[in-house]
Amino acid sequence: MAHDCLMIARKALSTILELAKGYPFIAITGPRQSGKTTLSRMAFPDKPYVSLEDPDSREFAGTDPRRFLARYPNGAILDEAQRSPELFSYLQTRADQNGRMGLYILTGSQQFGLLSGISQSLAGRVGMVQLLPFTTEELQEAGKLPSTLDAILYKGLYPPLYDRKLAPSQWYAGYVTTYLERDVRQLINIRDLAVFQRFIRLCAGRTGQLLNLSSLANDCGITHNTAKAWISILEASYILFLLPPHHRNFNKRLVKTPKLYFHDTGLAAWLMGVQNSDQLASHPQRGALFETWTVGELLKGRYNQALPSNLFFWRDNTGNEIDVIADQGLTLNPIEIKAGQTINADYFSSLRKWLSWAGDEAGKPYLIYGGDESQERKEAQIVPWREVQGVGFNG
pLDDT in tens, 28-64: 999 999 999 999 999 999 999 999 999 999 999 999 9
Helices 213-220, 193-205: axis angle to 10 degrees equals 140
Spatial strand order in the sheet of 259-262: 209-210, 259-262, 240-243
Which segment of 3-7, 34-38, 275-279, 320-324 scores lowest on mean pLDDT?
A: 3-7
Spatial strand order in the sheet of 126-130: 49-51, 76-79, 104-108, 25-29, 126-130
* Percentage of the residues of the chain whose pLDDT score is greater than 70: 97
Give the tens place of pLDDT for each residue, 349-378. 999 999 999 999 999 999 999 999 999 999
- pLDDT at 140 (0 to 100): 95
Domain identity same for 288 and 267? yes
Whether the Cβ atoms of residue 259 and residue 209 lie closer than 8 Å to each other = yes
CA–CA separation, 69 and 90 (whole Å): 8
Whether the Cβ atoms of residue 236 and residue 111 lie closer than 8 Å to each other = yes
Length, in residues, of the chain: 395
Is 349 inside any structural domain?
Answer: yes
Domain identity same for 102 and 209? no
Segment 215-224 mean pLDDT = 96
Domain identity same for 348 and 201? yes
CA–CA separation, 371 and 143 (whole Å): 20
- pLDDT at 180 (0 to 100): 72
Domain identity same for 378 and 267? yes
Is 159 inside any structural domain?
Answer: yes
Is 324 inside any structural domain?
Answer: yes
Q: Which residue, 171, 135, 164, is CA-closest to 2?
A: 164
Domain extent for 157 = 136-390
Domain identity same for 91 and 204? no
CA–CA separation, 80 and 28 (whole Å): 10
Q: What are the CA-CA distances from residue 190 to residues 7, 131, 195, 196 (Å)?
A: 39, 27, 9, 8
Domain identity same for 153 and 276? yes
Q: Would the pLDDT of 395 be above 70?
A: no
Domain identity same for 353 and 223? yes
Q: Which residue, 189, 192, 201, 299, is CA-closest to 243?
A: 299
DSSP strand pairing (332-338 vs 259-262): unpaired
Q: Is 3 helix (H, G, I), strand (E, B) or coil?
A: helix
Contacts of 331 (CB under 8 A, 6+ apart): 361, 362, 363
Domain identity same for 275 and 372? yes
* Domains held by the chain: number: 2
**Domain stops at, among 96, 130, 164:** 130
Q: Is 127 helix (H, G, I), strand (E, B) or coil?
A: strand
Domain identity same for 282 and 334? yes
CATH code where residue 75 lies: 3.40.50.300
Provide the 10 A C-beta neighbour count for residue 46: 6
Is 286 inside any structural domain?
Answer: yes
Is 395 inside any structural domain?
Answer: no
Which segment of 132-141, 186-195, 215-224, 288-297 scores lowest on mean pLDDT?
A: 186-195
Is 167 inside any structural domain?
Answer: yes
Maximum mean pLDDT: which of 173-177, 195-199, 285-289: 285-289
Q: Report CA 58 to chain centroid distance, whole Å.
A: 27
Is 189 inside any structural domain?
Answer: yes
Domain identity same for 172 and 66? no
Segment 322-348 mean pLDDT = 95
Is 190 inside any structural domain?
Answer: yes
**Domain stops at, among 130, 153, 171:** 130
Full DSSP string of 328-373: -SS-EEEEEEE--SS--GGGGHHHHHHHHHHGGGB---EEEESSS-
Domain identity same for 187 and 286? yes
- pLDDT at 309 (0 to 100): 95
Q: Which residue, 268, 303, 269, is CA-closest to 132?
A: 303
Domain identity same for 255 and 330? yes
**Domain stops at, among 130, 154, 171:** 130
Q: Would the pLDDT of 69 be above 50?
A: yes
